[in-house]
Structures are given as C-alpha cells and as structure tokens.
Structure 1
C-alpha cells in the first residue's frame, strides 16, 4: 500500500477506494508540508515526491497539482475567508487543519470541481488523519458554509495586493514600483501563466503549427494545452523547449556567435544553456545541483545540442579571462515567478533576499574575472526585488571600473520599450504583455537583466 508521511505526524496510507481521494491526499500533504516546513522546499518538489510515493496516475497527478497550486495562488484570500468562518480565527499552528480547509475552499471557489466532491473528500481527509478525526465535523460545516456563501465570497475578492499578498512583499512592491503597478503585479499573479516555448526555427511557423502566437520577444506562447507537453508536435524531435518568454531574453541579449566560448553559471534547469548552444557557442554549463544538471543533460540530448556540463560551485571556476561571454542567472528569491509558482510568495522571507544578495555579489565578481577584455556579461535574476537587480549592477559598476553598461534596445525586444528602464537595463513585470492586444495576453515572469562589457 502506498503511503505518505504527514508534515508533523505518522505515515498515512493512500486511500484508493474512493475516486479522487488519493489526489487530494497528495495535494493536502504537499500544502501542509510547506505550511509547516519553515520554507525548506518548493511546492513542485513536494508534489513530485508525494506523487511518486503515492504512485499517482497522470490524471490524479494533474488534479493534485491543480488543487495545490490554486490553494497557494489564493492563499491570502483563503486565509481571510476561513478566519471569518472560524469562531477562534485561523489556527496557524495546525498546518494540517489549515491545509484541509484551504484545499477544500480552493476547489469550491477556484476550480471546476463539484461542490459535493470538494466537501465530501475534504471530510474524508480529516477522518483519515488521526490528528484531524475529531475535527471532521468542523471541516464539513466550514466547507458547506463556503459553498452557500460562494457568490458573496467571490465578490469580496477584489484587492489581491492588500488581501492576497504577504504584507512584506506588498510593501516592497509599493515602494519599488508605486501603488498602481504593485496592484497590477498582484492581479497578474492571480491570472497564472500560459505555456511559453523557445524554438530553434521560426517562431511564426511553430506558433501556427501548435496553435499559439509568436510574441514580439521571439518566444511562442500556447494558451490552451490539452495534452502532455511531451506529446506536442516537435517535442520529441527536439525542435523546442519550455521557457518563459521573459526568461528567454537574457541569453539573447548576450549576442553570442558561433565558436565563442561562453560560461553559463548557475545553469540548471538549462533553458539558457540550450539557447547559447543553439546559437553555436561552445558552452560551459555550471551548477552545484547534480540532479538538476541531470535534467539539463537530458534536455540538451533531446534537443541535439552539445555543452560541457560541470557539477560544482560557480564561485570555484578558475579560468580567468578565458570566456568571450558569461551569463549569470544568479540564485535569487524568485519573486518574479509567482505567476507560475505561487508558493514562492508564502515560502520566502525578507531575510532570504538579504542572504541571496550577498551571494549574488560574489558570483557577479567571479563572472568579472572569467570574461575576456571586450567580452560581455549578462547578469539576471527572476526577482522583482531591486536588491537582487538594479542595486547589484549599480554596486558592481562602482567597484569594477573596468566594465561599462551596454544598454538594451527596443529592437532587441521586438520593438517593446516598456521593459527597458532609464539605465538601459531590462526589467520585465508580471503585468507587462498582459493583454493589450490578443497576441500579447498572458503576462511575463518578473525578470531583471543587465548587459555589461569589460573594457580592459
């Protein structure tokens, strides 16, 4: 019998006797684990591990992911809704109870799930958990009340910045971007993200073949994918790979040509490595995570590309002045990816940004050592936080006068000028490319990138 370990309790058997219950056990367990983990890991990792342990089939895996993702996407709203319907407020110290209520509420309010299934299976989850059995009546009452009051609740979900964003992040974005833009960012996070791909050939031709649209930045966006990604035309042949449209820009800014030697530091999961290799560069891809590099290696092989893959710390690369270009996609808080990974908003803290900024500074200085005179560095992060972007570049240039900024130009972005800041750096926001024309709906991950040249 498949089992999964509770966040703070004994192993629980996976119940396959009731349709849909196993998927909900996995979703509930992943959510509870993150709520109790003190930010130890990501939702995707938790889902993959729990789904593997439970031996879920494809449909149940997709359902578990949908429930857990919807829960974190509206977690702020859900907490407010639940707190208002519990006589003693939300029991934050009981993550398994919060998780069963939140996952049930998310199904009722945000997913195409029958109400009776959301309620009944939520109650079954509680009854099957030794620590929640005595609370199954409470779970039943709260979820049934949410069903009755759904229209009223949905009408109140009007301010995603104030009510669905952690206070510390909302304050940061107001300070960095102003109230109006911060509100637009929070609204974009609720909308989720389409599937973007980077293609080897013509974006226009692949967009037509796959029923998507070619974005101005060069990516192809697929709004409706009704099959597994690996079943889509061109995947098995290695014609394209999945990569957010914003994440695909930094490697293009590096402007590598055939035969140039390029270091891709912190390379996993490998989308940028693939771009550089497809451009004809001799790529050295470095990352400290062996499992993630294995995924990179598999993707590079599927794409028919070649790269030198090294497991190790980018800070330990000792080849001064040996690279024509360096791409540094630095480890960061990932607050720019909340559209795709809504758990990021709830599993990061302000101290994480300070800690990561110190590492980014060291990696930036290492990149400066590696690049040849006349060579280029693109520094980038998938973060909305200035400490991990604009301020890193400002401070780098202050302590490295042998480098100069090479501004990004609108024609490098298909004519888009909004993502280019006053300094000539790239700053994409989730609220950009969000629907001004039919072919541009769907937003972007929040990314920062700066292109620098070594003068001497």
Structure 2
C-alpha cells in the first residue's frame, strides 16, 4: 500500500491520527469509535493505511515492547506513555509495513515526537529507532528478540503478543497447540464478510464484481453462514452503489450463526435487548413479524437507525432502554446478546486484549446474571430466550446459563432444530464457536425455553 501523502509541517495526516487515537485509548476510549470519529479527515487510501498501522501495532504491541525495551536505557517504564506509543508506531512501520521505507518511518516518527514532546523526546526516538533498524539490517528481523523464554506460557505470550495472564487462563482449558492456534488467529486481520439484503447472494456477488470488488475464496464465510460473501482486502464499502442501495450489511459468520441457532418461528415477536450494532436484529427480522431493538446507548442506536434507513427496513424498531429493566411487553423470542469481555473478537478489537483485566471476569458475569434474570421476566409462557456472548470465557457463557437454569425450574435448555447450524459448532445443545477451530470470531449461545405454565 502506498505511503500516505505528506502535509505542511512534515508529518502525514495518517500518522498524526494514529498518535491521537492511541492517546484516546489511554483515556479509556475504544478503538473503533475513536478511529471513526477522527478518520473522516482522511481519503480512502490514507484511511486504510492508518487502520493497518493502528490495528497492526496493537496486535503486535507486546512483541514491539520487548524489542524496544532492549534498546531503551532503563527500559520503557521510565518513558512517557505517549512517547512509548510513538515508538511502537515507528517500530511497527520499520518491521511490518514493507511499503514504508525505513528512512520515512524513522523521520516521520521523530518529527511527530518533536511536535508532541519537544526536541529531547525526538532525539530519544531517533536513537532507538535507528538502533532497531541497524539491528534488523545486521541480524535479520526474526533474530531481533533473542531467545524465546523457557516457560511455555511466557513463550506463547511473547510470540503472539498477548497478556500472559490471559494465555495462562486458556492453557488451563486447551493444550498448547490449540492455544497457539487461538493466539495466531487473534493476530490475523479479520476479513470483511457481508450479508445480502433484499437480493440473492449470487446477484449481490455479480453486482459487487461489476463494481470492481474482488471476492475472496468462500472459506469460512460460506462454510458457517450460507449466503455470506467474503470480500478481498481493500474494498471501500461505503462508496459502492450496492451499499448505498441497501443491498448488504457487514456481519461476521459467528454472529450469523447465533441467529441461525436461535431458529425463531416465522412471524414471531422478538425483543433484542442489547441490539447495537444491529446485525443480529436484521437477521432475526428475516423471519420475525417485528424486532424491538433496544440498547442503552443513544449514539450506538443512531448508527443502528442509519443502517435501517439505508436498508429500508421497517420491521426493526429501535428504542433506548437498559436491559436490566426491559421496557418491552411479553415477547415470543428474546435475544440477550449480553455485554461481555469480547475475548472471541480480539482479531477485530486488538485494543481489548490490553484493556482487559482479571477483575473484569468477576464484574462482567455479575452484570450478565442480572440482565438474564430481568430478560426472563418478559418472555411469554412457552417462549424462547436466547442468551449469547462474543466471549470465550466459561464465567460469561456456561456459568450464567447453568446458574439460571438451577434457580428457575420452569426453564430448560433446548437444542436448536436439526440442521439449524452445523453440528461442528454445537456442544451439548449450546452454540460454541471458536476462532482456532472454525476460523471466524468466537461466539456462544444457549436456547432457553420457558414452560407454558411458568
């Protein structure tokens, strides 16, 4: 990919934006909304370049930190957090972005450090990045980090740039080969997968191809979500006529599998209590008479509404509401796509692995249990509640479901009808989608049936 164009002052807009987004993350903002809020100043090519730099440097942050720490006297801990982020951006360009000449990666990062922190910081950044580039040239990229740790968990964490505490959790459940596969999957760029709307998959494929969009090999998208189309990297979706005409929306196959697993009856009244960004509500609307799509975030619901308007959807009705106090009447089907740690979506949200804390796995399940109890109260007798997450963690998946069933004898776990989803993603009647096994995002779901007299 070509380098972004330079502007007055010597630093490209893409690099300025990358530094600003990383500063946002340190303040507690999430990667996607911060990027979207700032990226409107970029053209399509520079936007893609900035996205590659940001997402890539976050995926490889642990690895980059190890390389940089060896080349900073006294280690990274003594540096300002913003300077560390600038070093990560420069190092990632040097080591991973082959389209960027080394002199440009160094000079641009040095100038950015000078702008943000003055001449002293720029001299430090210059020295560290030049040393890194010299070592890469003399020793080769793969030899930069030195020998791998002897401890298996530490070695996996270092090799794949994940927090070690999280790696050790996963090693308790899977063997090292499977953990290695999961970590590698988290570091691959997530493909763009689209779902046709108001048009057949073949017709959409022809429309996209005619517009110059390359379709990727079917791969996991076709295996797990029939009708989905996986696009080759680089497509600028919002510029396509098919996008403006509402012929598709973006959805990972794991999310599509949740709605297929739900297997709702034709004409059902459905409530989706944590609906944003809205893709599952759209899928459910293919069969439902109406989907009441609630979310507590006004901003996120505005994006849902914009998508509904673009797709000309009338059967999905968004509303602002807190799932802990559901503002809906009795529903035939209730989807509770619960807030979670999102450990199944690290390839899409690389900032999440660094933001997550062990304590989150105590706090989040308590919220999930609270919402699950509240949601059950608005399912009609004989109705269906589908609990789902995009987490891989048992505390957020099986544990809340098992506890709920133990405390509510009028409810039972009900597997989906035969053929609703492939057997390979079913585990004891529950949906369990794993990145390392299925090549898509992680997801969990359980169908809970309320008895007719409960």
Alignment of 1:453 with 2:434, yes or no, is: no
Match of 1:170 in 2: 167
Shift in Å, 1:352: 1.9
Alignment of 1:373 with 2:364, yes or no, is: no
1:393-418 CA-partner distances (Å, limit 9, x unpaired): 111111111111122477323x4x33
Please give the alpha-carbon distance, in whole angstroms, between the structure 1 residues aligned to 2:196 and 2:10: 39
Match of 1:215 in 2: 222
Please give the alpha-carbon distance, in whole angstroms, between the structure 2 residues aligned to 1:258 and 1:373: 18
Aligned pair in 2 of structure 1 residues 184, 156: CA closer, same or farther (>3 Å)? Answer: farther
Shift in Å, 1:42: 0.8
1:423-453 CA-partner distances (Å, limit 9, x unpaired): 22111112233xxxxxxxxx21111111121
Match of 2:318 in 1: 309
The equivalent position to 1:46 in structure 2, one of 6, 23, 34, is 34
8 A contact 1:419–1:428 mirrored in 2: yes
Shift in Å, 1:216: 2.1
Shift in Å, 1:162: 4.0
Shift in Å, 1:78: 0.5
Shift in Å, 1:334: 1.1
Aligned pair in 2 of structure 1 residues 361, 216: CA closer, same or farther (>3 Å)? Answer: same
The equivalent position to 2:195 in structure 1, one of 198, 210, 230, is 198
Please give the alpha-carbon distance, in whole angstroms, between the structure 1 residues aligned to 2:174 and 2:144: 25
8 A contact 1:162–1:170 mirrored in 2: no
Aligned pair in 2 of structure 1 residues 382, 219: CA closer, same or farther (>3 Å)? Answer: farther
Aligned pair in 2 of structure 1 residues 58, 20: CA closer, same or farther (>3 Å)? Answer: farther
1:292-346 CA-partner distances (Å, limit 9, x unpaired): 10110111111121222111212222545x1110111111111111111111101
Match of 2:121 in 1: 135
Shift in Å, 1:204: 5.0
Alignment of 1:80 with 2:62, yes or no, is: no
1:20-56 CA-partner distances (Å, limit 9, x unpaired): 522112101222342x33xx2211222233445xx33
1:11-410 correspondence runs (5 A): 16-17=7-8, 21-34=12-25, 36-37=26-27, 40-51=28-39, 55-91=41-77, 94-111=80-97, 112-129=99-116, 131-150=117-136, 152-155=140-143, 160-163=156-159, 164-200=161-197, 201-203=199-201, 205-207=203-205, 210=208, 211-212=215-216, 213=218, 215-217=222-224, 218=226, 220-232=228-240, 234-306=242-314, 307-319=316-328, 322-408=330-416
Aligned pair in 2 of structure 1 residues 115, 160: CA closer, same or farther (>3 Å)? Answer: farther
Equivalences, count:
423
Please give the alpha-carbon distance, in whole angstroms, between the structure 2 residues aligned to 1:291 and 1:449: 26
Match of 1:420 in 2: 426
CA root-mean-square deviation = 2.3
Aligned pair in 2 of structure 1 residues 156, 194: CA closer, same or farther (>3 Å)? Answer: farther
Please give the alpha-carbon distance, in whole angstroms, between the structure 2 residues aligned to 1:173 and 1:381: 17
Alignment of 1:429 with 2:434, yes or no, is: yes
Aligned pair in 2 of structure 1 residues 208, 401: CA closer, same or farther (>3 Å)? Answer: farther
Please give the alpha-carbon distance, in whole angstroms, between the structure 2 residues aligned to 1:411 and 1:255: 10
Match of 1:436 in 2: none
How high is the TM-score relative to the length of structure 1? 0.86
Shift in Å, 1:154: 3.1
Aligned pair in 2 of structure 1 residues 394, 203: CA closer, same or farther (>3 Å)? Answer: farther
Unaligned runs of 5+ in 2: 1-5, 149-154, 209-214
How high is the TM-score relative to the length of structure 2? 0.87
Aligned pair in 2 of structure 1 residues 430, 156: CA closer, same or farther (>3 Å)? Answer: farther
8 A contact 2:201–2:229 mirrored in 1: no
Please give the alpha-carbon distance, in whole angstroms, between the structure 2 residues aligned to 1:351 and 1:61: 35
1:101-138 CA-partner distances (Å, limit 9, x unpaired): 00001111222322111111011011112x34202222
Please give the alpha-carbon distance, in whole angstroms, between the structure 2 residues aligned to 1:418 and 1:86: 48
Structure 1 residue matching 2:426: 3-state secondary structure: coil
Aligned pair in 2 of structure 1 residues 204, 51: CA closer, same or farther (>3 Å)? Answer: closer
Shift in Å, 1:206: 3.6
Aligned pair in 2 of structure 1 residues 156, 365: CA closer, same or farther (>3 Å)? Answer: farther
